Structure 1
Amino acid sequence: MTTKKTLIGLGLGQTISLISTFLSFTASEIARKGINAPTSQSFLGYVTLAIVYGSIMLYRRPAIQVKWYNYFLLALVDVEANFLVVKAYQHTSMTSVMLLDCWAIPCVMILTWVFLKTKYRLMKISGVVICILGVIMVVFSDVHAGDRAGGSNPVKGDFLVLAGATFYAVSNVSEEFLVKNADRIELMSFLGLFGAIIGAIQISIFERGALNAIHWSTETVLPYLGIAIGIFLFYSLLTVLLRTNGSTMFTLSLLTSDMWAVLIRTFGYHEKVDWLYFLAFATTATGLIIYSMKEKDQEEHKSGEVVDEEAARRKLLDGDDEPGS
C-alpha cells in the first residue's frame, strides 16, 4: 500500500461524497417545491467553473492542447448526465437513485479497461464487490422500510437513473484521460464554458416557462447558489482525484454519499434508521480501503497497450508539442 496516495484518495473521495450528499439533498428540496427545471440547477456551477478557471487560463495564456470539439462532447454528456439524475428525483425515491452508483461501477470499469487499458487485479475486484455488497444492504433496508413507495413514477425514475449512470461513466472516464494527458485548468475551463453554453440553450428551449413561474425569493435563490458552489468544489476536487486514483476509485467513493445522507438524517434530524445502514457504511468503507491497496497494479500496462494508448493520445491532442501537466 502506498500510504500517502491511499490516504489522499480516501480523503478526497469522502469529501467529494459529502459534497454529492449536499447536492442530492438540495436537488430533492428543490424538487419538493415543485420546480421542474433540472438543467438550471447545474447551470450556475458551469458558469462558475468557466469564470474561475477561464480567468486562470487567460492569465497563463497556454497553448490549447486538446481539440475544442472533444471538450464540447464531454460537456454535452456531462450536462445531460446531471439533467437525467436531477430529473429522476421528481419521479422516484432515494433508493432508486442508489442504482446510479451501482450501475456506474461496471460501466466505468469496462470503459477504463477498454480505452485506458487499466488493469484490475483480484485485490481491486474484491474491493469493488465488497462496496457493492454495502449498497445492496442499504437497498434491502429501504425496501423493507417501504422507501420505494415514494415517487410519482418509479419505473421512469429508474430508467432516468440508469441512463444518467451511463452518461456519468462516459464523462468520468473521459475526464480521467484528459486530466492525465492534457491540462487540468484547460479541462475545467472548457467544461465550464461549453457546459454553460449547452445549459443556457437547453434552459431557453425547455425550462423557460418553469423558471418564469417560480416566485423568486431568498429561500428560492439560496439553494441555487449552494448548488453552484457545490458543483464548483465537486469538479475541482474530482479532477485531482481522477489524476491520483482514477475514475473507478471516484465512482466507488460516491457509494457512501447515500450513507452519509443517512447519518445526517440520524444525527441531524434525529430520524430512526435500520441498523443495516451502519453495517453497510462500514462494509463500503472496507471495500474502498481494499480497493486502494496495491494501487500500482492499476497502472501496469503491457508494452503493446502503452503504444496503443500513446497513439490515441496523439490523435486527441493538438500539435506536436508534448502536453504539460
Structure 2
Amino acid sequence: MNWTTMRTYLNSNATLKVLGKLLLGQLVSSAVALMSITTSLIAKFGVDTPLTQSLFTYGSLALVYGSILLYRHQKPLVSWYWYFLLGFADAQGCYLVIKAYQYSSITSVTLLDCWTVPWVILLTWIVLGTRYSLWQLFGGTLCVLGLSLVLLSDTRDGGDGGGSKIILGDVLVIVGTVFYAISNVGEEFCVKKKDRVEVVAMIGVYGFLVTAVEVSVLELKTLESIKWSADIVLAFAGYGVSSFVFYSLAPFVLKLSGSTMFNLSLLTADMWAVVFRVFFYHQKVDWLYFLSFAVVGIGLTIYSTTEKKSVHAAATTIEEDENLNTEYQILNGENESQSIST
C-alpha cells in the first residue's frame, strides 16, 4: 500500500485519521525523549560537543536521503538558498538547545523548550496564513498545562539537578526555540508543497555543511581533549539513531497536522523519558505523570478533532493537487512530459 492510498483510506475514516496523527506524533515524541536522555548522558560524561552530535545526524540524513535523490535523478524542486536557510536555522536550534544541557537541568530545558509552540503559532499565522479556532487554542493550552504537571512532580521530588549556569542555559533554550520554530514552519511549507525526501536530504546536506564549519571553529580542541570510552560512544550512537528516526518521521507529522500539532505532540517527550527511566533504571513514577499524560492526550485529541479544513488561502491546492506539486523533474530530459509520483 503506497502513501497516497494510505492517506486516502485514513481521510475516509475520521477516527482512524485522528488516531494515526496521534500515534505518529507520539513516535516522534519518543524519539525526542531518547535524544534528550542521550544528550543528558553525554553532558554528565563531561563531553561538551553539541555541534559534533548534530554533525553525525546531518551526515547520516544527507547520505541516506541524498542517495535516494541521486537514484531518482531528480532536480531540486526548491532553490538552494531556501534549503540553506532551513538547514542553518535547524542547526542553530540544535546547537543552542544541546548546549543548554551543559548549564541547566533536563527539567528546565524541557520546560523552556515549550516556547517553540507560541513561536510556531505566531509564525504560521503570519507566514502561512494559518487560522486557529478557539477549541484548537484550548487543546494547545491543555497540552502545556499537562506538561506543567510533570514539571511540578519533578520539582516536588527534587528534580534532576540545577545546573551550573541556569540563567545562561535558559537563555540558550529560548533563543534555540526561535530557530526551531523557523525550521519547523519552513519544513511544513516545503513538505506540503514539494517532496518530503528532498526536504530531509537538503536539511541533512546544508545542516552538515553549516555544522562542519562551526565544528572546525568551535570544537576541534574539545574533540582532541576527549578521553573516549565505550559509554561515551554508545551515548553518541544512541543520539545519532534517535535523531535520525526523528528527522525521518517529522515530515509526515508536519504534512498531516502542521507544525503546531507537531510541537504539541513533542510535549509528551518528557513523559516518554520517564517511561524509559522506569524500564532501564527501575525508577518509581509519581501519580502526576499519569495525570499529565492523560491531560496532554486530551489536549492533542481536542486539537486534532477541531482542526480547520481550510486555513491557508494561498495554499488551497496543497491537499487537492498533491500529485502535481510533488512531481519529479527528470534530469536526462528523455521524456519531460512524464513524471514520477511521490
Q: Does 1:175 align with 2:187?
A: yes
Query: What is the CA-CA distance between 1:298 and the residue it aligns to?
Result: 5.0
Which residue of 219, 227, 233 maps to 2:231?
219
| Stretch deviating more after TM superposition (212-221 or 160-169) | 212-221
Q: Does 1:129 align with 2:141?
A: yes
1:198 corresponds to which of 210, 225, 229? 210
Q: How does 1:77-92 map to 2 (within 5 A)?
A: 77-92=89-104
Q: CA deviation at 1:276?
A: 1.7
Structure 2 Cα separation of the partners of residues 32 and 220 of structure 1:
10
2-side partners of 1:224 and 1:301: how far apart?
40
User: Equivalent of 1:146, from 130, 150, 158?
Assistant: 158
What is the letter of the counterpart of residue 254 of structure 2? Answer: L
CA distance in 1, matches of 2:211, 2:75: 27
Residue in 2 aligned with 1:114? 126
Match of 1:147, SS?
Answer: coil
Q: Is the 8 A contact 2:45 2:232 kept in 1?
A: no
Q: TM-score, normalised by structure 2?
A: 0.85
Give the CA RMSD over aligned residues: 2.2
Tell me, yes or no, if structure 1 residue 300 matches structure 2 residue 295.
no
Q: Which residue of 1 aligns with 2:23?
A: 11
Match of 2:290 among 275, 278, 282: 278
Deviations 1:83-111 (CA, angstroms, capped at 9, x unpaired): 11111111111221123342111111111
Partner of 2:240: 228
Aligned residues: 311
For 2:265, give the aligned amino acid.
Answer: S
Q: Does 1:266 align with 2:278?
A: yes
In 2, Cα distance between equivalents of 1:125 and 1:229: 33
Alignment correspondent of 2:76: 64
CA distance in 1, matches of 2:245, 2:289: 27
- Residue 219 of structure 2: SS of its match in structure 1? helix
| Alignment check: 8 A CA contact 1:96 1:158 kept | yes
Distance 1:306-1:270 versus aligned 2 partners, 3 A rule: closer
Match of 1:188 in 2: 200
Q: Deviations over 1:183-231 (max 9, x none)?
A: 1121111111111111111111100011111122433222222222222
User: CA distance change for structure 1 residues 301 and 41 in 2, over 3 Å: closer, same or farther?
Assistant: closer
Q: Normalising to structure 1: TM-score of the pair?
A: 0.89
- 1:103-130 per-residue CA deviation (whole Å, 9 max, x = no partner) reads 1111111111111111211221111011
State the distance in 2 between where 1:144 and 1:299 align: 44
Q: 1 or 2 for the larger relative contact order (CA 8 Å, sep ≥6)? A: 1
User: 1:26-85: per-residue Cα shift (whole Å, max 9, x none)?
Assistant: 000000011111110111111111011111101111222111011111111101111111
The question of whether the paired residues in 2 share the 8 Å contact of 1:182 and 1:324 is answered with: no
Give the aligned partner of residue 313 of structure 1: none
Supply the distance in 2 between the matched residues of 1:134 and 1:204 (Cα, whole angstroms): 41
Q: Counterpart in 2 of 1:159?
A: 171
Q: Write the deviation string for residues 245-300 of structure 1: whole angstroms up to 9, x where unpaired.
A: 111111011100001112332343232343222211111111111111033x1533
Instruction: Write the letter of the residue equivalent to 1:14.
Output: Q
The separation in 2 between residues aligned to 1:144 and 1:199, in whole angstroms, is 38
Q: Which runs of 5+ in 1 are unaligned?
A: 310-318
Unpaired segments ≥5 residues, structure 2: 1-12, 319-328, 330-336
SS at match of 1:114: helix
1:2 offset after TM fit, Å? Answer: 1.9
Q: Distance in 1 between matches of 2:297 and 2:27?
A: 13
- Report whether the alignment pairs 1:104 with 2:116: yes
Measure, in 1, the Cα distance between the counterparts of 2:86 and 2:92: 10
Superposed, 1:19-58 pairs within 5 Å as 19-58=31-70
Do the aligned partners of 2:89 and 2:179 also contact (CA within 8 Å) in 1?
Answer: yes
- Mapped to 1, the partners of 2:162 and 2:49 lie a distance apart of 20
Distance in 1 of aligned mates of 2:115 and 2:85: 22
Identity value in percent: 46
